[in-house]
Amino acid sequence: MPSLQFTLNGRLVVLDAISTNTTLLQYLRSSGHPGTKEGCAEGDCGACSVALLDSGPGDRPAWRAVNSCLIFLPMLNGREVWSVEGLASGDQLHPAQQALVQRLGSQCGYCTPGVVMSLFETCYRQDLDVDWKVDDQLCGNLCRCTGYRPIREAALSLAEAVPKDHFSERLQGPAAPCSPLHYDYQGQSYYCPNQLADLWQAMKAHPEARLIAGGTDLALTVTKHFQPLPQLISLEGLNCLRGTSKTDHGLRIGATTTLSQLEASAATELPLLARMLRFFASRQIKNRATVGGNLCNASPIGDLAPVLMALNAELVLLSDRGERRVPLDRFFLDYRHTALQPGEILAAVEVPRPGTDWRLGAYKVSKRRELDISAVCAGMAVQIDPKGTVVEARLCYGGMAATTRRATKTEEALRGRPWTLTEVEQAASLTAEDFAPINDQRGSQWFRATLARNLLIGFFHETREQSLRKLPERPSSTLVLS
């Protein structure tokens, strides 16, 4: 039986008799690495953060802080991971640890190992050119006692420091993707193919298996709902599904591209998408979460779907029968049900570059600005001709129905009409006919219905003079009217 292997704190770990549903956090704590803490086991607190050598933008290697509570051990096969115990060299603390000590950034210390691992990523990033990115780096780490000022100051002192040590040397070599694996243990199986032919074969042999990419959604089945996932097929070993590339018409995003990889290309190619990514989860989640996982989990409050739908994205679906294309606005059939056929995967998302005659907006309404789930999210795109008349409108909402959907009646009312406040207010009242939202803990039916209307009116004000409003450095919301 093949074993699974990875490097932990510079030492090779070989395992051949362990459940495929064991998380890295469980393994660390049971193997003499208790520095890594469990707070929530669902990606919300950051106490379990460790560092993974992964691919950054341009497929160059990069150190990434990730939540060990959401990583199953087989996902690490062939990879290199460091926990807080491995950072110091003898008595010499790592600069991330030193910075926290010097600024008194720890009291009870429960959050500290996780904070250190986020600061570790901070040290080796070379794209922390503005303050909000440092806040974003830290927003996945809760601290109940110290207060965030000293922690943030430590992070600011480390941003782009890139100490010359054996960790920065690792960034000169090749990126370390996961190695192919077929691992069985007591009726459980984990496949990680690196060829499409092997993927199709595994999917045929195990039609009941669940596909897994970053696992930030699926792992909760085990860690929160206590349901086993006995058969898993990972898409992470398939290089052809990863990364972004410019096309003649826009951007092609491979399904297993992580959201932190996407951030860099979206900033220049699709600023509307970058705007939503700024409010998406935490750095640790974005370092693992993939674009494909976000769309295929078909959550009605997934944050990428409304924006990509407004941008008229098309999905490339692949199986051993070949490729077919489905517009994103026809992909979601019902609550958590998509147009994917058995044996089919999402391979890529193609997003056309919007013309300069389009006005664009993306909005997320949640109880907190950082690391929260949307009550309502929206992506809006309106094409205006030189006379100020609406040619086309794509108003896409999440959190308003069982799936992310377009407000078709409202769109129809706008087409052919002048892009003025009176017309927009009239059309906005039709959102009440487009949607019959539910009451739940994130918002009442009234709240959601009012939001849908007001977001459209806000979008009008925001884009009256320009096609896409740039967010200020420290925004308090995704809608900026001043």
Ligand X SMILES: Cc1cc2nc3c(=O)[nH]c(=O)nc-3n(C[C@H](O)[C@H](O)[C@H](O)COP(=O)(O)OP(=O)(O)OC[C@H]3O[C@@H](n4cnc5c(N)ncnc54)[C@H](O)[C@@H]3O)c2cc1C
303 binds ligand X (CB under 6 A): yes
Q: What are phi and psi of 432, to 5 degrees?
A: -65, -25
- The answer to whether 36 contacts ligand X (rule: CB under 6 A) is no
Encoded one letter per residue, x for contact with ligand FES by CB under 6 A and - for no contact, window 138-177 reads -----xxxx-------------------------------
337 binds, among ligand X, ligand FES, none (CB under 5 to 8 A by kind): none
260/51 Cα distance (integer angstroms): 14
Among ligand X, ligand FES, none, what binds residue 39 when CB lies within 5 to 8 Å by partner kind?
A: ligand FES
Indicate the helix (H) or strand (E) that contains 181.
Answer: strand 181-185
254 binds ligand X (CB under 6 A): no
What distance lies between CA 388 and its chain's CA centroid? 36
Closest distance of CB 77 from ligand X, Å: 16
Are the C-beta atoms of residues 120 and 170 closer than 8 Å to each other?
A: no
Give the β-pairing of 4-8 and 80-82. parallel
Q: At closest approach, how far in Å is the CB of 117 from ligand FES?
A: 11
Contact 119, 158 (CB under 8 A): yes
Task: For ligand X, give the closer residue by CB, 103 or 286.
Answer: 286
Smallest separation (angstroms) from ligand FES to the CB of 184: 27
**Residue closer to ligand X, measured from CB, 425 or 440:** 440
Among residues 257, 252, 231, 228, the alpha carbon closest in space to that of 242 is found at 257
Single out the residue of 40, 156, 220, 432 in contact with ligand FES (rule: CB under 6 A): 40
Burial of 42 (0-12, 13-18, 19+ CB in 10 A): middle
Q: Does 35 bind ligand FES (CB under 6 A)?
A: no
Rounded Cα gap, residues 280 and 336, in angstroms: 20
Minimal distance in Å, beta carbon 74 to ligand FES? 18
What does the alpha-carbon distance between residue 157 and residue 173 come to, in Å, rounded to a whole number? 26
Nearest to residue 260, comparing CAs of 291, 234, 235?
291
Structure tokens at 63: 């150190």
Pick one of ligand FES, ligand X, none as the site partner of residue 216 (Cβ within 5 to 8 A by kind): ligand X
The correct pick among 217, 350, 434, 462 for binding ligand X (CB under 6 A) is 217
Binding of residue 43 to ligand FES (CB under 6 A): yes
- Report the residue number whose CB is nearest to ligand X: 293
In angstroms, rounded to a whole number, what is the distance separating the alpha carbons of residues 222 and 216? 11
Among 55, 112, 216, 231, binds ligand X (CB under 6 A): 216
The yes or no reply on residue 48 touching ligand X (CB under 6 A) is no
Q: Is 289 in the site for ligand X (CB under 6 A)?
A: yes
**Do residues 350 and 314 touch, judged by C-beta distance below 8 A?**
yes
Closer to ligand FES at the Cβ: 88 or 145? 145
Say whether residue 43 binds ligand X (CB under 6 A).
yes
Nearest CA-CA partner of 307 in 379, 405, 209: 379
Please state, in angstroms and as integers, the Cα–Cα distance from residue 244 to each residue in 50, 177, 475, following that order: 26, 16, 28
C-alpha 283/C-alpha 318 separation (Å) is 30
Contacting residue, 214, 306, 361, 437, with ligand X by CB under 6 A: 214
Could you give the string, one character per residue 306-345, with x where binding to ligand X holds by CB under 6 A and - elsewhere?
A: ----------------------------------x----x
> Residue from 8, 255, 351, 471 that binds ligand X (CB under 6 A)?
255
d(CA 101, CA 103): 6
Binding ligand FES by CB under 6 A: which of 7, 39, 152, 269? 39
Per rule CB under 6 A, count of chain residues that contact ligand FES: 23
- Are 192 and 236 in contact by the 8 Å Cβ rule? The answer is yes
State the residues that interact with ligand X by CB under 6 A.
Answer: 42-44, 210-218, 235, 255, 280-281, 285, 288-290, 292-294, 296-297, 302-303, 340, 345-346, 373
